[in-house]
Structure 1
Amino acid sequence: MTSAFKDDLLAGKTAFVAGGTSGINLGIAKRFAALGAKVAVVGRNPEKAANAAREIGGGALGLSADVREYGAIRGAMEQVAQAFGPLDIVVSGAAGNFLAPANGMSANAFRTVVDIDLNGTFNVFRGCYDLLRRPGASLIAITAGQAVNAIPLQIHACAAKAGINQVIRVLAMEWGPDVRVNGISPGPIANTEGMSRLAPDPATREAHYARIAMGRWGEVDEVAECAVFLSSPSASYISGTILDCDGGSQLGDASRRNLGTGLA
């Protein structure tokens, strides 16, 4: 896609992307590197982390740590700071999800998603604070529409994402003016594991497109551009904001526009 940002926008910056070994977060890490940043990605699987670093190129680091374990994620951040210097950009994007009714979900399953998404975001942000370049650091959490829209079979994700939104807002207040804290709420994004599970066949995908105001799924690069913007000088007065990158999907069911304009 055509980008509005100059090629050296992030030159000299250090970016740490938790959950950056696949999907949207890997796309964000690649975009940061393409714009000149020194990038480190962290995931639970050492092999995936190493492969992601090679895919990103430019001397990127791929480290293994579980965001649910504060000591592990803190240790990874210290390695990055030692290798690249103070952290300028930190993205918390590790997530877990599945479809399940509340009555059919174990307490452990609920806790697991909250632990990865919500507790993981706290661990990443709390762990990085004294390693940040201050003032000027930018923190970004990847949240989702479930934070504000109740969705059946998603009680765990709805609870976790709502918590993330409040973490963003509270930290923006506590850590300003030295650190900006924002979130990105992606809608359905093509070529991601989540959407391949939710809409595995063409008929399901076409039906889903019709419900979205823009009539299509988003692209990973479109979310990555949002992350670049929030990390750039253009967003220097933006903090505590959740940026929706969802094609208008949170507005409601756009397929109703096909019913015509007549009033009942």
Structure 2
Amino acid sequence: MNVPADTDGTDSGGPEHPSASETAGHFLPAGTFAGKRVVVTGGGTGLGLEMSRGFAALGAHVIIPSRTEANQAAFLEEAQARGWQASGAQVDVREPDSVRRLADSILEEHGPVDVLVNNAAGNFVCPAERMSSNAWRAVLGIVLDGTFYCSKEFGKHMMADGRGGSIINIIATYAWTGMPGVVHSASAKAGVHAMGKTLAAEWARYGIRVNAIAPGPFESGGANKNLWPNEAVQERIRASVPLKRFATREEVAAQALWLASDAGQYVTGATITIDGGMSLGAGMMWEPGERVGRPKTGRSSEGGAS
């Protein structure tokens, strides 16, 4: 079983202004992104917020486009309190003209973008036979179309600038396994998975790296509400994870930061799975530590000679 890893606009991201050492940025050296400009779509809530905090704590100027200013408030307030460089912007990633205007305005106001994180997403559980066409289009529009429109517009600016850049897509492990109840999200994420590999191959000559992270279950108020709303469901999920716990937002966000940093500068077209071993099929045959193999009698289970 693989578990949806994304929700949109439902999680403020945790306690107000926690210690800076609690951001995902503490895994990398201070100043890792000093002087860099980073765009995180949907970067004001949930996992997007945690990635935004990590990039900002490491010196980047972080721009968080979203459809509503309300979803930007928590990060912008924290950034002001901490002295981080941060800006908000409005965009509907489903609309190519809106994305083009966003990319052009950021270039004009802040300069060329070094890192784009395609994080904007929407998800909910619904059996395929009950899913409306509007629900299908809404999720594919945000996840698949939005990722392409943003990659295209910001990618063109990276090409023109000549310094290259890094694009990171947020997908999920069910992009290649499928999962009941999320046919819209699984289909969209599978498309983004293929898109990222294609763009990585096409744009490598421009110095643009395109990678993805695929989280399994992680701690998120939005996911708790929409995907695993009670303790019984959460415990069943934990039992299926070899590490027997959910990831923290910081652990997931740290992988995006690493991919965008100079430490990942020779990595492109890759997908990092962050699921505590959930997709490995552990426990299908026996429990860890259980004795396995042929009997010590030297006889086969059918009674013949071993």
Q: Bigger radius of gyration, 1 or 2?
A: 2
Q: Whole-Å Cα distance in 1 between the matches of residues 44 and 289 of structure 2? A: 45
Tell me which residue corresponds to 1:176. 204
Q: Whole-Å Cα distance in 1 between the matches of residues 60 and 189 of structure 2? A: 28
Q: Does 1:66 align with 2:92?
A: yes
Give the counterpart of 1:22 among 31, 39, 45.
45
Q: Whole-Å Cα distance in 1 between the matches of residues 170 and 143 of structure 2? A: 9
CA deviation after TM superposition for structure 1 residue 253, in Å: 5.7
Q: Whole-Å Cα distance in 2 between the matches of residues 61 and 117 of structure 1? A: 23
CA deviation after TM superposition for structure 1 residue 69, in Å: 0.8
Contact 1:210 1:255 in 2 (8 A): no
What do the CA deviations read for 1:103-145 (whole angstroms, capped 9, x no partner)?
1111221121111110110011011123225334000010111
Tell me which residue corresponds to 1:125. 151
User: 1:240-251, aligned counterparts within 5 Å?
Assistant: 240-251=269-280
Tell me which residue corresponds to 2:64. 41
Q: Whole-Å Cα distance in 2 between the matches of residues 258 and 10 of structure 1? A: 44
User: 1:108-119, aligned counterparts within 5 Å?
Assistant: 108-119=134-145
Q: Report SS of the residue matched to 1:54.
A: helix
Q: 1:192 to 1:184 in 2, by over 3 A?
A: farther
Q: Which segment drifts farther, 211-220 or 190-199?
A: 190-199
Contact 2:172 2:189 in 1 (8 A): yes
Tell me which residue corresponds to 2:29. 6
Higher relative contact order (CA 8 A, sep 6+): 2
Q: Whole-Å Cα distance in 2 between the matches of residues 254 and 197 of structure 1? A: 28
Q: Whole-Å Cα distance in 1 between the matches of residues 32 and 140 of structure 2? A: 35
Q: Report SS of the residue matched to 1:215.
A: coil
Tell me which residue corresponds to 2:185. 157
Q: Whole-Å Cα distance in 2 between the matches of residues 98 and 254 of structure 1? A: 28
Q: Whole-Å Cα distance in 2 between the matches of residues 199 and 255 of structure 1? A: 23
Q: 1:76 to 1:51 in 2, by over 3 A?
A: farther
Q: Does 1:92 align with 2:118?
A: yes
Unaligned runs of 5+ in 1: none
CA deviation after TM superposition for structure 1 residue 74, in Å: 2.1
Q: Whole-Å Cα distance in 2 between the matches of residues 171 and 55 of structure 1? A: 34
What do the CA deviations read for 1:141-177 (whole angstroms, capped 9, x no partner)?
1011121112111111111010000110000011003
What do the CA deviations read for 1:204-228 (whole angstroms, capped 9, x no partner)?
2222111111111011111221111
Contact 2:168 2:210 in 1 (8 A): yes
Contact 1:13 1:87 in 2 (8 A): yes
CA deviation after TM superposition for structure 1 residue 244, in Å: 0.9
TM-score (norm 1): 0.93
Letter in 2 for 1:122: F
User: 1:227-246, aligned counterparts within 5 Å?
Assistant: 227-246=256-275
CA RMSD of aligned residues (A): 2.0
CA deviation after TM superposition for structure 1 residue 50, in Å: 3.7
Contact 1:100 1:154 in 2 (8 A): yes
State the number of aligned residues.
264
Q: Does 1:77 align with 2:103?
A: yes
Q: Which segment drifts farther, 73-82 or 114-123?
A: 73-82
